[in-house]
Structure 1
């Protein structure tokens, strides 16, 4: 390729990259972290009015999944049980027409080192505990903890960390933490956190319920 043409192509590529970066930047809120603020059973319109992050268009009359258009954190709105997550790149909201049915997300921008993943998990569990959520089914799925035993199991890939939390008869969360093979960091141990949030869908025997006390 003629050197002059090569420099011209490189210049256009650089300009395209800068334009994409500028567009992404313009889609972010002017201050604070981008946020999707919603309530289970709330409407698409209320979510849009409360949120600082842009969101995919409404699909009226359908069961559908929507996504934020930028990395965004979740703020679950509830006067008693509300909580906030870190920024998420994988973040879907399920709708029945314009009514919010459920949320599935990974509260992280990329797969995390174990120390960082545990910090996120423990912070979420602390928020739930402080707001009156209850750990459920702990006989089979104990709450995740930063202990040598938990670290050994997670690192060995023997099991995913899994815990269930419930807020009265209003919400249930399933939290998963497990090893994740990351091609960008093939020599490092990376971990993925997944949250599923909806009205209670997994039944628990009353004898399995454990109220965690300080």
Structure 2
């Protein structure tokens, strides 16, 4: 085989492998999009096995005698199952549930989205969650220093400058959470930044 022909074959083999890889990745993403989103239904402080029994998503067991965390095995949303202070998030690609050395749930961290979002879409997620919290008895902590997110020019400008602060919410003296929108450059939105919503949640602490 002459050198030019060898290079041609090598080049086209590489393209074929790359194309096949793209097809596999695309098929996986398509399958994920077509698979119904599962639910992780939990209450902070409850035994891990209670969450497992209540949820439709698979999530692994606890490690005995240590603090750790697990992630759902399928794309899942969270339903906070407290009968008074409950709420529901959108599906979360990043989603971890922590447990303590007694096997009880002690915290949650998640980003309630499946990809980086434009500013308004990220803000809409937060506004919806804030409305759910208000309706289910959550109250804003330190509202003067850390006000709730709002759909106003002031908030839009802060988000565009990556200068939006987190806000903190309490459900009586049972639970507390923090939510924040952060931003970063993203090639999917060349004219805009990508935005990421993050929630951290756990037991109430003074």
Contact 2:77 2:88 in 1 (8 A): yes
**What SS does the corresponding residue of 1:110 show, helix, strand or coil?**
coil
Cα distance between partner residues in 1 of 2:143 and 2:120: 23
Matching residue of 1:75: 79
Cα distance between partner residues in 1 of 2:161 and 2:100: 40
1:17 Cα deviation from its structure 2 partner = 2.2
1:109 Cα deviation from its structure 2 partner = 0.7
Kindly report the root-mean-square deviation, in angstroms, between the aligned alpha carbons of the 2 structures. 2.7
1:60 Cα deviation from its structure 2 partner = 1.9
- The yes-or-no answer on 1:161 pairing with 2:165 is yes
1:96 Cα deviation from its structure 2 partner = 0.9
Cα distance between partner residues in 2 of 1:161 and 1:144: 9
Quickly say closer, same or farther: Cα 1:12–1:49, change in 2 above 3 A: farther
- The yes-or-no answer on 1:192 pairing with 2:196 is yes
- The yes-or-no answer on 1:21 pairing with 2:21 is no
Matching residue of 2:185: 181
Contact 1:74 1:86 in 2 (8 A): yes
1:105 Cα deviation from its structure 2 partner = 0.8
Contact 2:40 2:77 in 1 (8 A): yes
Matching residue of 1:64: 68
Aligned length: 193
- The yes-or-no answer on 1:108 pairing with 2:113 is yes
Normalising by structure 2, we get a TM-score of 0.82
Larger Rg: 2
Quickly say closer, same or farther: Cα 1:99–1:140, change in 2 above 3 A: same
1:56 Cα deviation from its structure 2 partner = 3.0
Give unmatched runs, 5+ long, in structure 1.
204-214
Give unmatched runs, 5+ long, in structure 2.
1-5
- The yes-or-no answer on 1:152 pairing with 2:157 is yes
- The yes-or-no answer on 1:141 pairing with 2:168 is no
Contact 1:160 1:179 in 2 (8 A): no
Normalising by structure 1, we get a TM-score of 0.80
1:6 Cα deviation from its structure 2 partner = 4.1
Contact 2:177 2:201 in 1 (8 A): yes
**What SS does the corresponding residue of 2:197 show, helix, strand or coil?**
strand
1:161 Cα deviation from its structure 2 partner = 3.4
1:62 Cα deviation from its structure 2 partner = 1.4
Cα distance between partner residues in 2 of 1:11 and 1:192: 30
Residue 127 of structure 1, aligned match among 116, 127, 132: 132
Cα distance between partner residues in 1 of 2:59 and 2:19: 30
Deviations 1:25-81 (A, max 9, x none): 5xx5xxx52111111011221111111112134322211011111221011111100
Contact 1:144 1:161 in 2 (8 A): no
Contact 1:73 1:84 in 2 (8 A): yes
